[in-house]
Structure 1
């Protein structure tokens, strides 16, 4: 039985939502403040009344994001969607705090606590860089071939804390933008560290000169453009799509969109507007792809078989993952990384022998699967009994990356932390796109996606959980080179 008690919830805003019941926390905006999409393939632009405010003009994709009285527009409109993360803190299924960037012990590597990079099982298992192991010089690594130089990645999310020591000089502060209209900039504003964590997985540089060092991203020489779509815990889907369009217009190679429509907003027979929502997503994705930008999206965290049917509620449709033109990523993770009584204090051996109960490419307990999954990647897993029971180090099966925290006095502190979710799997693939484009700058969207899928490896659970397979950076870089 899937546990939805901590999932994000969604509400539609606008006149069309009256018949929809989405459970606790559902609310609707008043007509005067409602937001909705106008599909210009069915509505003449000149027929939009002057008192309907255009929030985002996405007319290159034949879409307008509007605010006002939806009923005054004659033609196809559909309510915008508000994604509320207040019930799960930041969009991760499970998370745990780590140390501040300024802290840590100088003692590690066999004789004490692991250093920061030694907690990055997701990067170590891919042989990303020999600095991540206890045996420097142990053969050629991914970063001996490419580090993603010359590429650009958009993170459309809760904002990125650009002052983190592992993200300094990574974020393009001139292009980064706040899409919410709340008056602040692109940095996080009340929605936690979700976007900062995602950015670190993609592009952290391990530049922290503290005793325990920093963390390393898949493509540390790429450039991050942060588009913030969350103000506080809430974000509009329309602001997210505006981020997609802006990313394409400034030449981003890939958009990381670790955002989606969670349970129960997955049943089009109950919510017919979902089918028009899918159409809007596909129009925006088609334009973005035409500009050479890949759209990578997290598959969702509700253990749903996408594309199947619920016996009581009908068809399951997970958006935007199942929209054509969106590259969907499911999550995998280990059980037993550095804990469980089978380990020495040699971090280099944490991924070897019989030390893992489940391997790093096994499906995570929460991941959506089935239709819409193009590949899987490391998103973190968890033994919930061990984690909730306070078993030491059980949280190390989650993905470790950059975070930011805010004190009671408003002071922002850079640090590190663990999160698990398909939100954490998507940036593994976004970083991989940067590696491919650094080697093949002129590769089309279709060529990049095909390379990732053709080089993916087989994994437990097969196609249902992994699509074409599990992300394999070594094979991918070899093929791209």
Structure 2
């Protein structure tokens, strides 16, 4: 297929367990004071004396996240494992994007991702009204002018326990960028356009201000999303490559139990496939989480080369928006859909050419903190980023559109509608697309 080479930039977008780097197998960092436990009857020992604190009670899936001494947990439960630390790493390319964002630009004209999906035409049918999408991420800045009408602060939750609340940019720009791709306001006369601006957004913050999260927090956010009747939960986070044997079966079983529950309750889980240029179908004894979990809709990334800039001047061939991004993970039976996530011609970085226009433009917010940790000020802006983190919310937004016109659909029916409408572009390898490139217009007309 055209121009598909492994490179080093944009290696990871979203969460990575234990600071995983592309091409390595790194065991997840384990907490010594916090555990995920199986609370089912078969796993319980004799009652329990409560020598630990329950952080998340996930009774719906017979799990809990507890904090305390390992000896106390071992005494009361047969099946448990240490909670796993996750880290949120930003794409390298974001550091190279010019400062100041795109506040004064004609922003829809820069949104190749929405143009190729024919989003304005879709909005003549539906804007996603009547749907609810959770963003399980680093936090959604509800004060952003393009998001303030979309975020339900009453339902939003902080799962980190870091002393901050939900609805703010406490852990950086990532969650706000993801939320804008889903639901940025299309009727405020400024900024960018979201795929489903009529959808309601719930901020499920699982990454703390310091950038850390845990496996248990993510499980809790998935369960919560289902309990509050979210139609879609977007997870632009993940970990790869994890050694399947060393990881053991507990974490996979806990994750699959949780994702199956969410799907059964009607919440479609849309997950970024990862950015390691890895063939997930043939990576023996390795696993990618959570996109390889049961019931997860795994999304790969595509992007153009030469959108609104002269690629030939940098010695590059122009590529269409549906071309696979160089960093995206892929694999037959591992990818369900492909969507716009942004691409880049690396040789143009550092030049005066606007190479960053091939990334995805969306909402961002950056907080400044006083010495005591209180938020002093927040800057709301727009900027570019790329990764499967940006591709997943394109599909989450499309799912909200489908649900809006088919309110009786369950999660599987919404996914099926998206997959029926998608097609693999001619001349490209199906391994990068699953059912094909997302087509919201065809899906809502289905």
TM-score (norm 1): 0.81
* Cα pair 1:463 1:469 within 8 Å, conserved: yes
Q: How does 1:30-429 map to 2 (within 5 A)?
A: 31=32, 33-38=33-38, 40=40, 42-44=42-44, 47-71=47-71, 72-73=73-74, 74-85=77-88, 88=89, 90=90, 92=91, 94-95=93-94, 96=97, 99=100, 103-104=103-104, 114-129=105-120, 141-188=121-168, 190-209=170-189, 213-232=190-209, 233-263=211-241, 266-269=242-245, 271-273=246-248, 275-309=249-283, 314-340=284-310, 357-370=318-331, 371-387=333-349, 389-407=350-368, 410-429=376-395
Q: CA deviation at 1:27?
A: 5.6
Alpha-carbon RMSD across the aligned residues, in angstroms, is 2.5
Q: List gaps (5 residues or longer) in structure 1.
A: 13-19, 105-113, 130-140, 344-354
CA distance in 2, matches of 1:56, 1:367: 33
For 2:118, what is the secondary structure of its paired residue? coil
Indicate which of 415, 422, 425 corresponds to 1:449: 415
Indicate which of 7, 11, 14 corresponds to 2:18: 11
Q: List gaps (5 residues or longer) in structure 2.
A: 1-5, 371-375
CA distance in 2, matches of 1:291, 1:27: 31
| The 10-residue stretch of structure 1 (454-463 or 222-231) with the greater mean CA deviation from structure 2 | 454-463
Is it true that 1:476 corresponds to 2:437 in the alignment?
Answer: no
* Cα pair 1:298 1:329 within 8 Å, conserved: yes
* Cα pair 1:189 1:231 within 8 Å, conserved: no
CA distance in 2, matches of 1:127, 1:64: 43
CA distance in 1, matches of 2:98, 2:109: 16
Q: CA deviation at 1:323?
A: 1.1
Deviations 1:56-100 (A, max 9, x none): 111211211122234542422122221112xx3x3x453235646
CA distance in 2, matches of 1:360, 1:249: 37
CA distance in 2, matches of 1:298, 1:5: 14
Gap change, CA 1:362 and 1:183, over 3 Å in 2: same
CA distance in 1, matches of 2:367, 2:335: 35
Partner of 2:433: 466
Partner of 1:436: 402
Deviations 1:211-232 (A, max 9, x none): xx21010001110010111112
Gap change, CA 1:147 and 1:332, over 3 Å in 2: same
Deviations 1:243-275 (A, max 9, x none): 111111111100011111134xx2213x233x3
CA distance in 2, matches of 1:321, 1:9: 12
CA distance in 2, matches of 1:5, 1:40: 41
For 2:365, what is the secondary structure of its paired residue? strand
CA distance in 2, matches of 1:221, 1:21: 41
Q: CA deviation at 1:177?
A: 1.1
TM-score (norm 2): 0.87
CA distance in 2, matches of 1:418, 1:256: 19
Q: CA deviation at 1:187?
A: 3.0
* Cα pair 1:100 1:413 within 8 Å, conserved: no
CA distance in 2, matches of 1:307, 1:39: 33
* Cα pair 2:291 2:298 within 8 Å, conserved: yes
Partner of 2:3: none
For 1:117, what is the secondary structure of its paired residue? helix
Q: Give the number of aligned pairs.
A: 420
* Cα pair 2:300 2:337 within 8 Å, conserved: yes
Q: How does 1:22-33 map to 2 (within 5 A)?
A: 22=26, 28-29=30-31, 31=32, 33=33
